[in-house]
């Protein structure tokens, strides 16, 4: 079931994930599937898609179906390869000495598909456009690290209306046609990692003059151009001959067919009416590998599932609260659920991030709290009760019904908690994702809630800062620990990625003690392709690498 990005978010994790696909030629992970490498270069690939929820503007595209189109239409400063490593595309170099001031040089002679040249100004203007609150771009928070963001996103005194005090961010400066500088409001070492994200794409002048019209028919600089967009039916993309980056199209185009349910798409895949499907529907998850044989794929991507236990719940505060969190974590048999419900298409979590990300470690001290041990769990629970007794209420896990599969795994986890700890536990359904978000947003949860995160860009920090930093945007459980915040800051201001990752993993050690959320498993993408195509692989974010797919 798709029914909007909401449900997608529901089923998998958060919605916003997107990223660029990796460099083409040397991609070692792309499968060959026995067909000779080149294949049919004029074959138009039909791919699973949905109606983009927003006009196709980079800073306004925050969901998967629009994102996968944008990533083919645009080329950013960099893109991510299949393993999530950033590869320079438009950028010639991104330099900094202090992790706060960056000098970005772009390649010269680059053009949009309509022939207009791409200069540093196109980037700066696009970012300023995306950040200015009156433009109401959903991704505007991506620019919050840049100096001057406060001014473009200022609120009126009563806090009710947007009242920007500047139209542009002071941290952005065009030096010449190919150079611009970025000043952040504080050092952030992973800033370069973010630059492959959709929000940071350049825009031609026309786009800023008339974003509405542009959003219907965007002109980009990516490996493909948008030939036509039949709303609710399909988006036709054809290769962009002027693109010369690493993601050159190896096929005759990509047609995204809009599906309302993945079930329908799966039937089309079975009968070769659809070439590539990512996200096998729940109804077929047990049989798709058998149905498709070597045309199927299960691949881990940068996403995870957790259970949030808000810190504002009395029973889960203090020492007793910490013991209870541990007890709950140890009472869930993750492998059993993955086995029975997800048909082994997921992997039990070992940390708070995801394995495809640079710096990932499966042996962070304290991670043994994620190992199932019913007896130990019971013991921890009893210890907690010795401090402050459990009031014998029911431990609930809130979930949204409109996300496929939520009910099954939440109920299973609740059951395991019930059996391991001998307390009452059950799933608490909400009809829609929106409703659940509303309760979470108002901090009105009376129990735990299911959650998930999909990386916006391949960085450990992206899995930690926005979720557990004090006052961060997606910190649903209101977690706050100054030591953790300090570790994050240390990581951000580190001189090298390795140093930074080390600090981030040390931050995770703190999380393992506090357990603001209970990690469950890492997400993986399931998918399949038709008899008519070859060379199908999925990127770090679970989206197929469309430009590499070839016809047979």
Q: Scan residues 51-110 and list those touching other proteins (CB under 8 A).
A: 52-55, 60, 62-63
Q: What CA–CA distance (Å, rounded) separates 463 from 517?
A: 12
C-beta of residue 278 within 8 angstroms of C-beta of residue 284: no
Q: Which of 73, 118, 254, 265 binds other proteins (CB under 8 A)?
A: 265
Q: How far is the CB of 328 from other proteins (least distance, A)?
A: 22
Side by side, the strands of the sheet bearing 179-183 are: 91-96, 101-106, 179-183, 172-176
- What is the nearest approach in angstroms of other proteins to the Cβ of residue 514? 21
Rg for the chain (alpha carbons), in Å? 23
Site for other proteins in 449-478 (CB under 8 A): 451, 456, 466, 472-474
Least distance in Å: CB of 11 to other proteins? Answer: 12
Residue 480 in contact with other proteins, rule: CB under 8 A: no
Which range touches other proteins (CB under 8 A), out of 89-97, 114-122, 158-166, 319-327? 158-166
Residues between 424 and 443 with contacts to other proteins, criterion CB under 8 A? 432-439, 441
Among 155, 175, 213, 375, binds other proteins (CB under 8 A): 155
Q: In the 3-class helix/strand/coil scheme, how is 157-213 assigned residue by residue?
A: CCCCCECCCCCCCCCEEEEECCEEEEEECCCCCCHHHHCCCHHHCCCCHHHHHCHHH
Count the residues in the chain.
Answer: 552
Site for other proteins in 322-351 (CB under 8 A): none
- Return the residue of 402, 462, 528, 537 that touches other proteins, per CB under 8 A: 402
Q: Which stretch binds other proteins (CB under 8 A): 136-144, 242-250, 334-342, 480-488?
A: 136-144
Outline where 74-195 has alpha helix (H).
120-131, 149-152, 191-194
Cα–Cα distance measured from residue 42 to residue 222, given in angstroms and rounded to the nearest whole number: 18
**The one among 181, 261, 419, 480 contacting other proteins by CB under 8 A:** 261
| By the rule CB under 8 A, 446 interacts with other proteins | no
Q: Which of 103, 111, 144, 493 binds other proteins (CB under 8 A)?
A: 144
CB atoms within 10 A of CB 476: 21
Should residue 387 be labelled a site residue for other proteins when binding is judged by CB under 8 A? no
Q: Is 415 in the site for other proteins (CB under 8 A)?
A: no
101-106 and 172-176 strand pairing: unpaired
In three-state secondary structure terms, 154 is: coil
The residue behind tokens 């939520």 is 406
For other proteins, the binding residue among 40, 116, 133, 388 (CB under 8 A) is: 133
Can you say how many angstroms the Cα of residue 264 is from the centroid of all Cα atoms in its chain?
A: 25
Tell which positions 201-240 bind other proteins, by CB under 8 A. 212, 215, 230-234
Element (H, E) at 105: strand 101-106
Measured between alpha carbons, how far is 130 from 317 in angstroms, rounded to an integer? 39
Binding flag, residue 390, other proteins (CB under 8 A)? no
């Amino acid at each position: 079931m798709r029914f909007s990005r909401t449900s997608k978010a529901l089923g998998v994790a958060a919605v916003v994930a997107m990223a660029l696909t990796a460099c083409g030629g040397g991609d070692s992970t792309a499968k060959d599937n026995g067909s000779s490498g080149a294949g049919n270069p004029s074959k138009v690939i039909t791919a699973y898609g949905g109606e983009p929820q927003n006009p196709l503007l980079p800073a306004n595209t925050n969901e998967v179906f629009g994102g996968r189109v944008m990533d083919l239409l645009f080329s950013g400063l960099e893109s991510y390869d299949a393993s999530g490593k950033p590869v320079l595309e438009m950028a010639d170099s991104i330099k900094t000495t202090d992790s706060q001031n960056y000098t970005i040089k772009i390649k010269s002679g680059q053009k949009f598909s309509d022939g207009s040249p791409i200069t540093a100004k196109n980037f700066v203007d696009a970012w300023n456009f995306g950040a200015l609150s009156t433009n109401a771009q959903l991704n505007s928070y991506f620019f919050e690290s840049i100096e001057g963001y406060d001014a473009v996103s200022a609120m009126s005194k009563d806090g009710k209306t947007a009242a920007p005090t500047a139209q542009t961010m002071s941290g952005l400066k065009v030096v010449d046609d190919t150079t611009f500088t970025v000043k952040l409001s504080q050092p952030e070492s992973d800033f370069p990692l973010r630059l492959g994200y959709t929000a940071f794409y350049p825009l031609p002048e026309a786009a800023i003059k008339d974003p509405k019209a542009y959003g219907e028919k965007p002109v980009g600089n990516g490996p493909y151009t948008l030939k036509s967009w039949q709303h609710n039916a399909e988006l036709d993309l054809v290769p962009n001959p002027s693109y010369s980056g690493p993601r050159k199209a190896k096929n005759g185009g990509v047609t995204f067919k809009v599906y309302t349910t993945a079930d329908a798409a799966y039937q089309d895949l079975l009968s070769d009416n659809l070439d590539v499907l990512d996200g096998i529907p729940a109804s077929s998850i047990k049989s798709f590998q058998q149905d498709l044989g070597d045309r199927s794929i299960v691949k881990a991507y940068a996403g995870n599932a957790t259970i949030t236990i808000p810190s504002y719940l009395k029973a889960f505060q203090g020492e007793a609260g910490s013991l209870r969190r541990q007890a709950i974590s140890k009472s869930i048999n993750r492998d059993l659920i993955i086995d029975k419900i997800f048909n082994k298409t997921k992997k039990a979590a070992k940390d708070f991030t995801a394995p495809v990300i640079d710096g990932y470690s499966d042996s962070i001290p304290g991670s043994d709290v994620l190992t199932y041990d019913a007896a130990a769990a019971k013991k921890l629970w009893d210890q907690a009760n010795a401090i402050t007794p459990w009031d014998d209420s029911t431990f609930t896990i809130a979930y949204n019904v409109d996300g496929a599969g939520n009910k099954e795994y939440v109920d299973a986890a609740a059951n395991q908690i019930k059996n391991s700890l001998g307390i009452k536990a059950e799933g608490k359904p909400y009809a829609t994702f929106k409703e659940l978000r509303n309760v979470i947003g108002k901090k009105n949860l009376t129990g735990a809630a299911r959650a998930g995160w999909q990386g916006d860009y391949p960085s450990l920090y992206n899995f930690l800062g926005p979720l557990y930093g004090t006052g961060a945007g997606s910190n649903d459980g209101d977690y706050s620990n100054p030591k953790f915040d300090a570790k994050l800051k240390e990581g951000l201001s580190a001189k090298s990625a390795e140093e930074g990752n080390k600090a981030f993993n040390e931050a995770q050690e703190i999380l393992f003690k506090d357990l603001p959320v209970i990690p469950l498993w890492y997400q993986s993408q399931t998918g399949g392709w038709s008899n008519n195509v070859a060379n199908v692989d999925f990127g770090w974010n679970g989206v197929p690498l469309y430009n590499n797919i070839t016809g047979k």
